[in-house]
Structure 1
Amino acid sequence: MTDAPLRRFAFDDELTIVTAAEHRERLLAALGDSHGVRLDLSGVSDLDTAGLQVLLLARDEGARLGLPVEFSEPSPAVAEVLALTRLEL
């Protein structure tokens, strides 16, 4: 494993069924081209189950590839969904 910095991946809008497919593709590409990613969730204005699936996919894909995936600065929208679902990312 290398000490290379994690690639920052920021969300700056909603993470919902409307945007999930686009974010999924960008996120998987970022993960594949890096030593791991740090997901900045501070800009997520809305999160639904499709968006939550994207975050869980990133976590699982990172584990599969042996790459770190960190979640940072969850917005109130993200924190609310995580509390409702009792998930910890």
Structure 2
Amino acid sequence: MTEKTNKKDEALCVSIKDDMTIYNSQSLKETLLSYCHSGTQELQLDLSAVTEIDSAGLQLLLLLKAEAQKRGFTLRLVQHSEAVIEVFELLKLGMYFGDPIVIPANWTKS
């Protein structure tokens, strides 16, 4: 499930309220790709509520990055959850997406 918020400075902000796993990746893919149209200048994905991400969720983020490059808009991943940070660190993907990752002071890597 996602929650669309109002545009801020030409950016469309979308909060992902579910895990990004194989169990919901298809419906999440359809929803998120619907935001990738010609009128989109910037799409911000708030990942703070993602408690689990697997390879299907990661593939979805990679697909969105490719769509952004193909269609000429900016994709920004913001407020990465601990689950997302762990996967990005494990696979060295932080630089690929290019968004700053803020690690909370109380975070303990599992």
Check whether TM > 0.5: yes
Counterpart-to-counterpart distance in 2, 1:19 and 1:82: 20
Counterpart of 1:19 (choices 18, 24, 34) is 24
Aligned match of 1:48: 54
Provide structure 2 residue ranges, at least 5 long, that are not aligned to the other structure.
Answer: 1-8, 98-110
Counterpart-to-counterpart distance in 1, 2:30 and 2:24: 10
Q: Secondary structure at the match of 2:35?
A: helix
Which structure carries more helix by proportion? Answer: 1
Question: Rg larger in 1 or in 2?
Answer: 2
Higher relative contact order (CA 8 A, sep 6+): 1
Counterpart-to-counterpart distance in 2, 1:52 and 1:65: 20
Which amino acid letter does the alignment assign opposite residue 61 of structure 2? Answer: L
Which structure carries more strand by proportion? Answer: 2
Provide structure 1 residue ranges, at least 5 long, that are not aligned to the other structure.
Answer: none
Counterpart of 2:81 (choices 69, 75, 83) is 75
The Cα of 1:74 is off from its aligned counterpart by 0.4
Aligned residues: 86
Provide the alpha-carbon RMSD of the alignment. Answer: 1.1
Percent of counterpart pairs with the same letter?
A: 33
